């Protein structure tokens, strides 16, 4: 409990980003995502219950969703997206009671990889504490695919035209795992992909970016 306490005030989706409404909004509320992530960790579940009680929030802590909520619920936007009036208003994390069908996607990944028709790209921001990149790195390793090239850096061009480290890539047969340096949970928001040099990953891993399935 003492080890977990220091990170409770941080933005779990981007550890270096500011926390909207201050750190207390994160420290004093439990989000369904947080409860789900540690579902099988009895110690953390007990700690969350004791420290935060029943203060369960639908809006993720530290995240400002006002703009997106207003925009996506605008009648003109709903009409453009062909959303019927009977459908409820958009929420970033709705309270729908989803039925969890799978506890792991390993079999599904292996089924896709076995066809050898698509290359699979798994990527994570490296400062995301909600879905830490180590988990997906362990997962891709567990798929048992032949290694094509060891862990190495990949790059992008900065505004001055210089190469900068964009993250790291582990390449397997028909599968690549990459990290996006400095990105959190919302990778496209934190690090827009317009400067991502996927062609460089392609040249290092023997495939074209058009073949990727993310």
Provide the pLDDT for residue 200: 57
pLDDT band of residue 54 (cuts 50, 70, 90) is very low
CA–centroid distance for 33 within its chain: 12
- Burial pattern 8-32, b for ≥16 Cβ within 10 A else e, equals bbbbbbbeebebbeeeebbbebbbe
Provide the pLDDT for residue 99: 74
Per-residue pLDDT reduced to its tens digit, 68-122: 889 999 999 999 999 999 998 888 877 666 677 888 899 999 999 999 888 899 9
Spatial strand order of the sheet with 163-172 comes to 147-157, 163-172, 175-180, 119-125, 212-213
Average of pLDDT values for 123-146?
A: 92
- Check whether 18 has a pLDDT greater than 80: yes
pLDDT band of residue 22 (cuts 50, 70, 90) is low
Most confident of 92-106, 163-177, 194-208: 163-177
Is-contact 196 156, C-beta < 8 A? yes
For the chain, the structural domain boundaries read: 5-52, 106-213
- Check whether 38 has a pLDDT greater than 90: no
Is-contact 153 165, C-beta < 8 A? yes
Provide the pLDDT for residue 53: 46
Which CATH code fits 106-213? 3.40.50.12670
Cα–Cα distance for residue pair 2/60, rounded to 1 Å: 23
Higher per-residue confidence, 41 vs 21: 21
Structure tokens at 192: 């827009």
Is-contact 109 122, C-beta < 8 A? no
Cα–Cα distance for residue pair 203/214, rounded to 1 Å: 18
Provide the pLDDT for residue 209: 41
Structure tokens at 67: 């703009």
């Amino acid at each position: 409990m003492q080890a977990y306490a220091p990170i409770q005030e941080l933005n779990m989706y981007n550890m270096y980003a500011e926390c909207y409404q201050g750190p207390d909004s994160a420290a004093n509320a439990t989000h369904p995502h947080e409860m789900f992530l540690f579902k099988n960790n009895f110690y953390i579940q007990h700690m969350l219950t004791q420290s935060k009680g029943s203060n369960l929030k639908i809006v993720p802590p530290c995240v400002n969703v006002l703009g997106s909520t207003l925009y996506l619920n605008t009648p003109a936007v709903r009409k453009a997206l062909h959303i019927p009036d009977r459908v409820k208003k958009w929420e970033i994390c709705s309270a729908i009671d989803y039925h969890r069908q799978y506890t792991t996607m390993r079999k599904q990944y292996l089924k896709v990889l076995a066809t050898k028709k698509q290359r699979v790209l798994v990527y994570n921001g490296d400062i995301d504490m909600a879905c830490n990149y180590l988990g997906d790195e362990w997962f891709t390793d567990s798929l048992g695919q032949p290694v094509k090239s060891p862990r190495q850096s990949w790059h992008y061009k900065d505004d001055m035209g210089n190469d900068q480290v964009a993250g790291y890539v582990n390449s397997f047969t028909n599968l690549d795992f990459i990290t996006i340096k400095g990105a959190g949970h919302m990778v496209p928001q934190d690090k827009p992909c317009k400067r991502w040099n996927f062609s460089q990953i392609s040249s290092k891993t023997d495939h074209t970016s058009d073949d990727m399935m993310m």
